[in-house]
A and B are shown apart, each in its own frame.
Chain A
Amino acid sequence: MAEEKTAITELTGEFFDSLVAGSEVGEKVRSCLQCGTCTASCPVARYTELSPREIVRLVLIGGEEELLRPEVVYYCSACYSCAVRCPMGVRLTELVNLLRDIMVDRGMGPLEAQVELVRSVENYDNPWQQPRAQRDRWARKVPGKVKVLPKQKSDTLYYPGCTAAYLPNMQKVALATAQVLARAGVDFGIMGREEICCGSTAMRVGMRETFEAQASRNIEKLSSLGVRRIITACAGCYGIMKHNYPEVAPFDVEVLHVSEVLAGLVSEGALELQPIERTVTYHDPCHLARHGGVVDAPRAVLEAIPGLNLVEMSRVGLNARCCGGGGGLRTGHTEQAVAIASERQAEASESGAQALVTCCPFCEMNLTDALNQSGGLPVIDLVELVLESMGETDPAAVEAPGDTAVDPGPGSA
């Protein structure tokens, strides 16, 4: 026999009024038509107990107890698909993030695996439990010298972020970016060991205080270094710095994703690119496309590589399907995150491409795990491809000097 259903005997706006209504996020929640666009757009919905649509419903009618449970609020991959498509303009991704903030305030979150990452950020300024001293190791492998601020001067900072700086399998992204920028004649420097985590990991799991502390320190550092322009090759760092930093403190620095810089160089004709005969498809990272609004730049760069044939997947740009790697999902619910990436890999395979290009370390790790688990296409970062087209060898082939192998595990924010 089925369990007896409890009748709804009261609808109350109390939870909404007290915790949601006042914030910007609360603005249009009441307009929700329960049309289901959010749920149908959500890559995680089929794994969750409550769909995004049901979450909104419960937020509005006072289902506080049912809502504020880890198995409800820690499934979102922060892909913004729901928010971009919602016909009523409900900012669902941010609403879920707000629920996470509330969970943390009440000592009910985040998930254990996520806490570890955030503690590491608090203690070591990176989520990977690595010493500060090793942050700039990757740079030693760059042929020629990389300027280190403030000893050397530049108003442009390359900010690799923790993942590309520390994880041995991702350092190739930092290496490639630094080389591509240098060869393209871009004057830039790095912060070396002074670099600290952007705070994304903490923000996404609801640890707002840690995030704000991290952001404030970063904003201060950047202004004391006189940085006018940040280039990053990490979609996560990009979205957070561009959109969330100005909410924390005045932040008057131009934040650019490396694809934007490269697209600019391409349009000026300043990049000399050799042919690569290959068919590739491009996966839009959520935090670059939907959160950051950058859709055309990476494609312009790919199209500028002679011989390269770009074929698109079914769902692209602002409508691209999430890889499942963001929002703490990969850390908290690895299995589901990789299953979602497998779906995306299937889409990529169908496109007829030989390789899957992306420009976000999390996407790359998650999609690569999916490849290993259930097949698909080899994943390559945009900057690696550009470096190859500049006639350079694969930076990943260069052996890491004296790196104690760090196992990144499945964790990422």
Chain B
Amino acid sequence: MAGGIGVYICDCGTNIAGVVDCAALAREAATWPGVAVAREYRYMCSDPGQGLIKSDIEELGLDRVVVAACSPRMHEPTFRACLAEADLNPYLLEVCNIREQCSWVHAETGSATQKALSLLRAAVRKVRLNRELSARSFPVTRAVLVLGAGIAGIHAALSIAASGKKVYLVERGPSIGGRMAQLDKTFPTLDCSACILTPKMVDVARSPNIELLTCTELEELSGFNGNFTARVRTRSRRVDIDSCTGCGDCVEACVMKGRVPDEFDAGLSRRGAVYMPFPQAVPLAAAVDPQSCLYVTKGKCKSPCLEACGPEAIDLDMPDEVRELEVGAVVVATGFDVFGAAGMPQFGYGRYPEVMDALQFERMLSASGPTGGRLLLPDGTEPSTIAFLHCVGSRDENANEYCSRVCCMYSMKQAHLAREKTGAKVYEFYIDITAFGKGYQEFYRRVRDEGVFFIRGKAADVARLGGSLKVFAEDTLLGRPVELPVDMVVLATGLIPASGSADLARKLGIALSPDGFFAEAHPKLRPAESHGDGIFLAGCCQGPKDIPDTVAQAGAAAVEAVALLDRGTVQVDAGVGGIVEDLCRGCGICVECCPYGAVELTADGVACVNEALCKGCGLCAAACLGGAVVMEAYDDGQILACIEGLLE
């Protein structure tokens, strides 16, 4: 058997063959020196496609393979595995991208085929020089870091813990629970949010495998897939969680009591500087808000809280604590923030006290909320007409282009609950009703049947005129202006990325999508993974979604993390940089330019690559003045061969 190169051209259905003349590519490639066989096939990634390669390797004794198909991001691993199955070293493969970089961006067959030919020539020239390489493997730390403890983080943490792994659940607020803890009832089934969430929160507190760190944020993540080190800072809570009984005596004693807007009640009530996050908080312990505590800000306060606290749990001088956690995987579950309605002044938010955002309304509906579940106007009476304004801050170029996906549903839920509580007349001003989940259309219909008025038109503005608050819109179905006097206006404010998301993305080395939420690795097939190996995504941090989708994604992220831990080892791709020590002058340029912190100077003053961290990007090789860095899968000779192929 003679050896030689096998070249395989994928039609990708019509994705490639619709533009590029694939048969011509195969005919041409078959004539090139060293090419033993060149074939065109409909779907190379399919089983029979891979079978072709395997049988050619066995029967023709191929020793190099080129697949011209989609991006190597997509199927390089597939074809490498295929080579390995046929006992050929997987690095003797070259994937030539003629889809994303050719057929998808060109329309004219003649020139697109010429370009594909050039790319293919480059790949064939390079593959001749490919070496046998082997991936390295490292053990995986059997613990997971979960960032954010809303329903997504809670669910992921519980699932991972249930598989026997250690979880560090890191929450920046003083309690776990996230937004769901603030909700009254949940669509479409109207079960009470606290009733279904609280047991899970308690489970977190009880689980021996979960270590809960509240008031805590990530400072730095180092290491790599399977072997991360996370440095986290726990801000001083100034209350010892273990000895605090949650009795609330300090809260009563605080001199700032009733003077600080309460974030849990979305600003509708006021708390003191020391406060209980909310009645079902986990951990059930008070916390001191350093921004409003007089002892912290001014250095002087009689601090009656200290005296009031029986178990002496308060320590106003408690320092921050910094810890390093060793974990194999990270689940990001940092959720969302509510769009700031003040950004759209036409709706009167912040100007008219009868105008509130959806989260505030949710707090008013809640029995544990500031009004004990009664809907009240500023004058203490119940509203007899309420308008819900959809798409505030969503589907709008002036704010966010995306749909927030839950506002239609929560507005209809709130409409139902408002009618139930007050019998008020309710108007929904909408553009389109987004009700696509299981049971959602049924809920939409139910709310219509109950007598909620739907007005198909986006509200343009809200103003107090002629003594009453009015909503201005067009009934686009009738083509008539609408000027409805109402007692109360609820803005269906959209969901935006949680504050600090961009900063967190930078620390984690993962990407954001254009909407500012964390980007998933593949929009359909890898929705719970980030672009960073070993870092998974759950819940609204990846995009607006409802609780069912959040929990589903959290479960998926947990499984991915557990699967990684259970694998026990991680394979790190070959193709890293190597240092020719004789040529290295120890200047350190490579250390500075490496985005992964993979290069260090040794005690002997020469560079050294940490193969586990190296991603093979080649920046160091390009920067090195002495030619001391050699990329094992992309050395200078291989790159020159590619260029020759392109220029031929």
Contact = CB atoms under 8 A, between A and B. Distances in A.
Interface of A: 33-37, 39-41, 45-46, 51, 53-54, 85-89, 314-315, 317-319, 346-347, 350
Interface stretch (B404-412, B469-477, B632-640): B469-477
B345 A347 contact: no
A40 B474 contact: yes
A40 B472 contact: yes
B479 A347 contact: no
B466 A88 contact: no
Nearest to A35: B458
Contact of B460 (A40, A317, A318, A346): A40
A62 B465 CA distance: 39
Nearest to A46: B481
Given A36-B473, A53-B474, A317-B345, A41 B465 contact: no
Interface string B381-407: 000000000010001111000000000
Among B431, B458, B463, the one with the most A-chain Cβ atoms within 10 Å of its Cβ is: B458
Given A33-B431, A319-B346, A51 B397 contact: no
A378 to B, nearest CB: 21
Among B395, B432, B481, B482, the one with the most A-chain Cβ atoms within 10 Å of its Cβ is: B481
14 contacts: A33-B395, A34-B476, A35-B391, A35-B431, A35-B457, A40-B474, A51-B479, A54-B479, A87-B391, A87-B395, A87-B398, A315-B346, A319-B345, A346-B466
B528 interface: no
Contacts of B472: 40-41
A36 B461 contact: no
A88 B391 CA distance: 12
A40 B465 contact: no
B463 A41 contact: no
B107 to A, nearest CB: 20
Contacts of A46: 481
A93 to B, nearest CB: 15
B507 interface: no
A51 B477 CA distance: 13
A40 B482 contact: yes
B458 A37 contact: yes
B439 to A, nearest CB: 26
Nearest to A88: B397
Interface of A, helix, strand, loop or mixed by DSSP: helix
Contacts of B19: none
B459 interface: yes
A40 B481 contact: yes
Contacts of A347: 465
Contacts of A35: 391, 431, 457-458, 476
Contact of A40 (B396, B457, B467): B457
Given A39-B474, A40-B481, A40-B482, A314 B464 contact: yes
A241 to B, nearest CB: 26
B397 A87 contact: yes
B464 A36 contact: no
Contacts of B395: 33, 87
A251 to B, nearest CB: 28
Interface in B450-502: 456-461, 463-467, 472-476, 479, 481-482
B481 A87 contact: no
Contacts of A319: 345-346, 461
Contact of A36 (B397, B398, B467, B474): B474
B397 to A, nearest CB: 4
A33 B397 CA distance: 12
Contacts of B432: 33
B465 A85 contact: no
Among A34, A51, A314, the one with the most B-chain Cβ atoms within 10 Å of its Cβ is: A314
Contacts of B431: 33, 35
B489 to A, nearest CB: 13
A181 B499 CA distance: 47
Given A36-B473, A39-B481, A319-B346, A85 B463 contact: no
Given A39-B481, A85-B346, A51 B391 contact: no
A31 B472 CA distance: 22
A89 B472 CA distance: 20
A13 to B, nearest CB: 21
Nearest to B474: A36
Given A51-B474, A53-B474, A87-B395, A37 B460 contact: yes
B303 to A, nearest CB: 42
A36 B465 contact: no
A332 B316 CA distance: 72
Contacts of A40: 457-461, 472-474, 481-482
A320 to B, nearest CB: 10
Contacts of B482: 40
Contacts of A34: 476
Nearest to A347: B465
A87 B458 contact: yes
Among B345, B395, B432, B465, the one with the most A-chain Cβ atoms within 10 Å of its Cβ is: B465
A89 B481 contact: no
A87 B346 contact: no
Among B395, B397, B461, B474, the one with the most A-chain Cβ atoms within 10 Å of its Cβ is: B474
Contact of A53 (B391, B398, B466, B476): B476
A53 B398 CA distance: 18
A85 B460 contact: yes
A193 B51 CA distance: 89
A271 B457 CA distance: 48
B496 to A, nearest CB: 16
A45 B479 CA distance: 10
Contacts of A317: 345
Given A51-B474, A85-B346, A41 B460 contact: yes
Nearest to A33: B431
A71 B465 CA distance: 30
Nearest to B476: A36
A318 B472 CA distance: 16
B463 A89 contact: no
Contacts of A89: 397-398
The 10 closest A-B pairs by CB, nearest first: A36-B474, A40-B460, A36-B457, A87-B396, A314-B463, A35-B458, A89-B397, A39-B474, A36-B476, A319-B346
Contacts of A87: 391, 395-398, 458
A353 to B, nearest CB: 15
A33 B473 CA distance: 14
A346 B476 CA distance: 27
Nearest to A52: B474
Nearest to B461: A319
A276 B4 CA distance: 96
A54 B397 CA distance: 21
Among B396, B460, B467, the one with the most A-chain Cβ atoms within 10 Å of its Cβ is: B460
A381 to B, nearest CB: 25
Contacts of B456: 36
Nearest to B467: A350
Among A33, A319, A346, A347, the one with the most B-chain Cβ atoms within 10 Å of its Cβ is: A319
Given A51-B474, A315-B461, 11 more contacts: A33-B431, A33-B432, A36-B473, A37-B460, A39-B476, A40-B474, A85-B346, A314-B463, A314-B465, A315-B346, A350-B466
Contacts of B458: 35-37, 40, 87
Contacts of B465: 314, 346-347, 350
Interface string B323-353: 0000000000000000000000110000000
Interface string B63-97: 00000000000000000000000000000000000
Contacts of A88: 397
Nearest to A28: B397
Contacts of B345: 317-319
A54 B431 CA distance: 15
Nearest to B390: A35
A53 B461 CA distance: 16
A82 B475 CA distance: 16
A45 B482 CA distance: 12
A46 B482 CA distance: 11
Contacts of A37: 457-460, 473-474
